[in-house]
Structure 1
Amino acid sequence: MEKVKEYFKQWNMEDRILEFDVSSATVELAAEAVGCEPKRIAKTLSFMVGDKAILIVVAGDARIDNPKYKAQFSTKAKMLTPDQVIDLVGHAVGGVCPFNINSDVTVYLDDSLKRFTTVFPACGSSNSAIELKIEELEKYSDYSSWVDVCKVKI
């Protein structure tokens, strides 16, 4: 989380990071800690495409749709292992976020997020989050593009 706080200092936003006394490592725990619906938690999923790590930020109630993923990235969805996430992305599982990550990681935002005004991504630890407007998420995640690779649970 210190790495992410440092990142947000350049915009004087480090004080907007929420730190909890409880775990926010899962969508359900994060929603409980924040006090919002689980679908507004912006979870960051990590995958391997070829020999490169990518992150896809999706809504809390969204799941990867394998045919859509394959159509977008021309490969099967292959999630990183917890060790790979630390090495290749720079954050540990439970706190993975699109902020202050390793420079060779590409970030995508999934269309499942577009139905919300604000969402809550993690901030590098399993007990943190920040509320961001979608436009802020675009700016601070340094995303590559929007993708449509999920299905939403009904």
Structure 2
Amino acid sequence: MNQPTEHMSIESENLIAVSVLDSSTTDYRIHHHAPVMGADDHANSGLSLDKSAKTLAFLVAGERLALVALPATSKLGYGQLARILSASRSQIKPAPPEALERLGMKPGGVCPFTDDAGVQVVIDEQVFTFPVIYCGSGDPGFTVEITAEQLRRACPAAVIADVKAVQANA
């Protein structure tokens, strides 16, 4: 059994990330901090934005969910994501809060970890180049610290692809 970080508390024991990571026998750390709802208040976490992955949740074709993790400083390439999900761009909509709740997540705390086999997880390939990855936990007041190898182990069915928006040359 994993021995998560000294930052564990009663609240963090109930996180979807902790449940999934413990069941996959993956080592990790949990950081508790002021809620982070986006890049503007990421500094509240005290963690490196350059090593962080944001996870976005989408409802695809009105019925299935997708969790998409990419570098926190990158924009999503919706065309690439649509091809991966075999859907048109117009069929990909932000997941509503009630869909997140069904996954055990809150807005601002979306993570790539799920125990729902019906959810498609997509992780941008660049995330795996980070020496340490900081990502959501299911709650905006907690962040998971994990290595690339540990992330692969925790998300074995994830599609790994380039889903970042193409940057125009300046």
TM-score normalised by the chain length of structure 2: 0.74
Aligned to 1:59: 71
Query: How far apart are the structure 2 equivalents of 1:126 and 1:83?
Result: 16
Contact 2:27–2:150 under 8 Å retained in 1: no
Query: How far apart are the structure 1 equivalents of 2:112 and 2:58?
Result: 13
Counterparts of residues 127-138 of structure 1 (less than 5 Å): 127-138=141-152
Q: Which amino acid aligns with 2:55?
A: T
1:42 matched to 2:53: yes
Query: How far apart are the structure 1 equivalents of 2:158 and 2:112?
Result: 11
For 1:18, which of 8, 31, 34 is the aligned residue?
Answer: 31
- Structure possessing the higher radius of gyration over alpha carbons: 2
Report Cα offsets for 1:57-81 as digits up to 9, x if no partner: 1110111122222333332132212
Runs (4 or more) in structure 1 with deviation over 6 Å come to: none
Aligned to 1:86: 101
Query: How far apart are the structure 2 equivalents of 1:72 and 1:6?
Result: 27
Indicate how the Cα distance of structure 1 residues 102 and 71 shifts in structure 2: closer, same or farther if over 3 A, else same.
closer
1:124 matched to 2:138: yes
What SS does the corresponding residue of 2:57 show, helix, strand or coil?
strand
TM-score normalised by the chain length of structure 1: 0.80
What SS does the corresponding residue of 2:112 show, helix, strand or coil?
coil
Report Cα offsets for 1:96-123 as digits up to 9, x if no partner: 1122443321211112314322210111
Contact 2:67–2:121 under 8 Å retained in 1: yes
Unaligned runs of 5+ in 2: 1-11
Contact 2:26–2:154 under 8 Å retained in 1: no
